[in-house]
Structure formats: structure tokens, C-alpha cells
Amino acid sequence: MKALVIPPVSLPSDSKSRRSHWCSVFPAASFLFLIFFALYAFIAPDYKERLSRWGIADTFQNFKFSNCKNQCRPPGSESLPEGIVSKTSNFQMRPLWGFPKNDENSPINLLAVAVGITQRDLVNKMVKKFLSSNFSVMLFHYDGIVDEWRDFEWNDRVIHVSARNQTKWWFAKRFLHPDIVAACNYIFLWDEDLGVENFNPKQYVSIVKSEGLHISQPALDYKSLVHQQITVRASKSGVHRRTYKPGICDGNSTAPPCTG
């Protein structure tokens, strides 16, 4: 039983006050930027090389890029008409004409599950619960069966991706690309066999938010089948934490998520 919550971006809790703060900082920032830019433009090429070895040139590049957000084209799209390719997107469905009903600024959370038709009943409960909490939902069909989900009334409101015999990580790496999920506050990348009777997505997100957790999973009851001790519910506190050394994926890795 595994559940991961991966929030790729910081939380927009006090974005209003932050925005006004930024407004006052902006003239100074853009002036500084001009100075940086002027300096950068006059740096001799070999010096640039040395800078890039220290990673400094990259920082300059990022400055340059963030300044021209919409004018700079993503690499490879230069020959396309302007505005066709944007740097980021999300999974909110749009009507064929007009604008989406949802407020563009409303928080977007995503539930992504690798599913097989044999788990249809559990998945049904899960999807219903998350849709009613205004999550976007994406199903990865690893058994290649898509049509048999048509009976569910929510079928047309979720995104289906189908590829035979692929792992959750294979799907995640290809369809949850950072450019696409950057707009999400929280991503739930779940296994399909989790019971959700007592789970409240909104409440869970609010706990995770207030604790500032970047990766988390709901604790398991003592009665559950427990694979990892860390996943058992702590009796005295709302959450408990463990920090791991970040794993390394290299040419010798043999298991997902490295090989997915």
C-alpha cells in the first residue's frame, strides 16, 4: 500500500500580500537585472565558459529567460507562429469554444493512478471522491483496457492514457512532465488498491500544507497490511517525518522508479 504526494511548486497561501510586496520590489529588481544583463553581454566568451563551469552563467540565463517569459520561444518552436507553444500547461479540460468554467486561479490538484480493469470498484470509489473535491483525475491503463470504464458516469471527466504492461513510473515520467504539472499544487500518484472510505482529500491537503510536507502518504491503520514501519499511524501526533538520503539513479539501477 503506497501513496505519494508530490507538490512540485510552493504553496500560494498568501499570494496577495506577496504580490504587493513584489510590486514594490520590481522596479529595483528590473534595474539590477539590467545591470546584470549589461555585464553579461560584455563578458568575453572564454570568461563565460569559466563562469558556466561554476554554474553562474546558467543563473544569468535564467534571469534572461524569466524576463522574457512570453517573447522567448521554447527551443525548437522558433519556426512556429507565436503563441502556439507555451512553456507550461495543465490537465484541466477546456470546452471546444470559449474559456474553461473553472477560475484559472483556483488551486489545481491532480490524482494520477495506474489502473487495471480488475480493480474497477476500488478505483470507482477513489475517482468519485477526488472528482467531488475538484481534483483533476488521470488514469493510466496498464492493461490496455479503456472501453470497459465507459459505464462509469465520470468516465468522460477523467483523462485516460493507455499503454500495455507499463509501470506507474513509466507513465509518470512521460505524462507528468514538470512543464505540465508545474501548475498543480499537489499530485497524488497512487496505487489503485487503496481504500478511501475514511479519506478526505481536502482535509489531507490542508494537513500537508500546514505541515509543509513535500512528499507524504496517509498513515496506515495497525490492522492494515503493513510493508514499511514508517507508514503506520503515529498515535500521538498528526504527522511523523523521516528524511532519507536522496536516491541516485545511474546506469546500474535495476528497479523502478529509476528504470521506469
Ligand X SMILES: *[C@@H]1O[C@H](CO)[C@@H](O)[C@H](O)[C@H]1NC(C)=O
Interior angle at CA 208, CA 226 and CA 255, nearest 5 = 50
Give alpha helix (H) positions in 116-198: 120-132, 168-175, 178-181
Q: What are the residues binding ligand X (CB under 6 A)?
A: 102, 133-134, 164-165, 250-252
Nearer to ligand X, 118 or 134 (CB): 134
Considering the complex, what minimum distance in angstroms separates the CB of residue 9 from ligand X?
A: 20
CB of 230 to ligand X, least distance (A): 27
Q: Name the residue nearer to ligand X (CB basis): 110 or 220.
A: 110
Q: What is the DSSP letter of 256?
A: T
Say if residues 171 and 191 touch (Cβ distance below 8 Å): no
For the CB of residue 102, give the shortest distance to ligand X in the complex, in Å: 5
* Residue 167: CB minimum distance to ligand X, A: 12
For ligand X, the closer of residues 74 and 144 by Cβ is: 144
Q: Name the phi and psi angles at 132, rounded to 5.
A: -70, -15
Alpha-carbon gap, residue 255 to 241, rounded angstroms: 25
Of the pair 16, 164, the CB lying nearest ligand X is at 164
- Cα separation, 238 vs 209, in Å, equals 13
